[in-house]
Amino acid sequence: MARLRMRILFEGDHSVGPGKVGLLEAVEQHGSISAAARSMGMAYRHAWEMIDDMNRCFREPVVETATGGARGGGAQVTAFGARLVRRFRAMEERVEKTVARDLAALDRERATGGR
């Protein structure tokens, strides 16, 4: 079945899409950027750059980090980051519902057999 991937583009070459939102969800689940990156099969540097891009895009950070120490550091999705995830997923759901019939029609027109 045909699918649609949503990406929001902002001025200054910033964007938010399924990859960045998935990374925020993984940070929330694992409590660190490195563990989130590992769970997604992603290099730590790439994950850090994605989070840094989102932190620079918005007035409030989406993730806050703590360096090592007695508790070992880690990362936490901020309240704003959690709202961003919820809003993106809600928008994604509405878009999918809106275009479902059109995607199904296009899927029926697709060539079969790998032309």
Q: Smallest Cα–Cα separation from 90: which of 1, 3, 6?
A: 6
**What local confidence, expressed as pLDDT, does residue 67 receive?**
76
Confidence of residue 9 (pLDDT cuts 50, 70, 90): very high
Q: Which CA distances in Å does 9 have to 17, 50, 86? A: 9, 14, 18
Confidence of residue 1 (pLDDT cuts 50, 70, 90): confident
24 burial class (0-12, 13-18, 19+ CB within 10 angstroms)? buried
Q: Is residue 44 scored above 80 in pLDDT?
A: yes
CA atoms within 13 A on the CB side of 30: 15
Tens digits of residue pLDDT in 56-98: 999 999 999 987 655 567 899 999 999 999 999 999 999 999 9
**What local confidence, expressed as pLDDT, does residue 114 receive?**
56
d(CA 82, CA 15): 17
Q: DSSP 3-state assignment of 77?
A: strand
Rg (CA), the chain: 17
Give this prediction's pTM.
0.88
Confidence of residue 115 (pLDDT cuts 50, 70, 90): low
**What local confidence, expressed as pLDDT, does residue 20 receive?**
98
The rounded mean pLDDT for the chain is 92
Helices (H) and strands (E) in the chain, counts: 4, 4
